[in-house]
Structure 1
Amino acid sequence: MSTVNDTKFSFAVFFLTGIPGQKDVHVWISIPFCLMYLISIVGNSVIVFIIKTDPSLHEPMYIFLSILAVTNLSLSISTIPIILGIYLFNSREISLDTCLAQLFSIHFLQCTESSVLLLMAFDRFIVIHDPLRYASVVTLPRIAKMGLVCVLRAVAVVVPLLFLLKRFQYGRANVLSHSCCLHQDVMKMVCSDITVNNIYGLFVKILTMGLDSLLIFLSYVMILKTVMSITSHTESIKAQNTCVSHLFAVIVFYTPEISLSVLHRFGKGSFPLIQILLGYITLLVSPVLNPIVYSMKSKHLHANIIKAFFK
């Protein structure tokens, strides 16, 4: 019996899924994914390059933005090539180890992005609430320490997911409901009780995105109170404009992610097409829109990008 189980485990294969019933137009569907991949790679790379090479942008706000861009860039590289393989070459098969590796990279990067968005919210709160002490509070050494904590937290909460999934036995063929390997999707393919995985997965969501989104909300409540107390209309508008890009990034990131988690846990297989679309929005929209919005709303960054390309 042990040999049979080991064989099932060693040769477990997963099949990724595109959009059901649209196989005849897969090539056409791949076109927007190619455009999104190109925009994400170019946009985030340009932001990182400009911030790295321009000393005037070596400020906390832009350093946080460069970290966010690197995270978005890594997420696009981890997901879109595999999605394109499905639509262009019908390459749906993925081994267990490769699937777990992609699962780790996706959830690690999402957890890191959530942490960075929280740090950016605190940064905006301090610069609006107490601008005179901003330079002494948000220093480069502290940014480095906070960045390290973000990475360590992501590793600490995501690595146990791999061990929890690795200990299970799987069948030889498992059809996933998404084009990428996600924890809530893979654990449904397990041939055993997944109560522990469900509890720990919920704990991770609450500890990371749930807690981060709550703290971001509280930060914006405090920012709003501060902005309302500013008597100068010009200064009030200026303070609000500093938060527009970040608030947009928060909404784009958390709304589909939380919605997808709720559907996976309580939808019981209902609305499969909505789950697939939310999966794409969760993984692809944020890395594509963030560099566009930040480069347009940040006048200093926008000016430096134009200067770099049109010398």
Structure 2
Amino acid sequence: MRIGRREFIKLGGASAAYVLAGGAVAAPTGRAIIDVHMHAYPATMQLSTPVTNPITGAVSPIRTGADHLAACIAEMKKHNVVKGVVSGGDGDRIQAAIDWHDRAPDRFVAGAGIRGSADTPLPPLDQLRKAFADGKLKVLGEITSQYAGFSLSDPRYEPYLALAEEFDAPVALHTGTMPAGTSFDPCCTTARARLGNPELVEEALNRHPKLRLNIMHGGWPYLDDTIAMLMLYPNVNIDTGAVDWLLPRPAFHAWLRTLVESGFSKRIMFGSDHMYWPDAIGLAIDGIESAGFLTETQKQDILHDNAMRFYKLAPGG
């Protein structure tokens, strides 16, 4: 999920709008976890507003992008998150992710965060081609076409999807909804909720049948449409980013249970989408671990094994 400075400030004061409910915090299991939905910010980024978790209200000492990276690594170690798929947030969405990978190449897989709006134009194709060829980038995404006012099926994304197909690079797409008031923000006046419907990517998938597509945020709240896409397209997976810690716990569990009972436990991947709040990684993990309806095998699949298969990660990562 892309979130800008203004939304960050708004969410920081919105903890009353969200509530963790529905059971005690699950005990850590020590299992290895893969987070397929992380965000990097430039090391020089400065935050003038204290970072307050919108769920817990906890205030973090983070003031720079470098602080943010250090805190994310600390949280990953704390929760045994052995690998993170990361794309850029504000600023240079490609270089920030590459910088994280360069800092900890065994820990991070770098993705190219692209949009295609007036304020964040699509990067030169040659730049991306070189980065993929050099192995600096492994994922195309997070693609935030919804914020730009387009679906992934829009022709402007065609050469980028062809490039992903050429390099067998997974594509990660923002779907679902956005923070309150996004379309009134000067950066995102073209953003529309309807463009987050996962079914809108169908034409792109048919033009590029070799694509592996991660429907980020699991397409929430378009549950039926997400199930329809999973049923028809075996090359599609989803992640649980943001919904596993920002939604009230009973609502998240009801959504997740429907997907699992529909037969898709092998297609769901854990993502935190922690944004500016590294401590959200633990909250997101607990969203899965505390789901009493999941078997241990299903938890292992969601928290680790499904991502290993989808992202074709090396054993041990």
> What TM-score do you get using the length of structure 2 for normalisation?
0.24
RCO comparison, higher one (Cα < 8 Å, 6+): 1
Instruction: Say which one has the larger Rg.
Output: 1
Report the structure, 1 or 2, having the larger strand content: 2
User: What's the TM-score, normalizing by structure 1?
Assistant: 0.24
The structure whose residues are more often helix, as a share, is 1
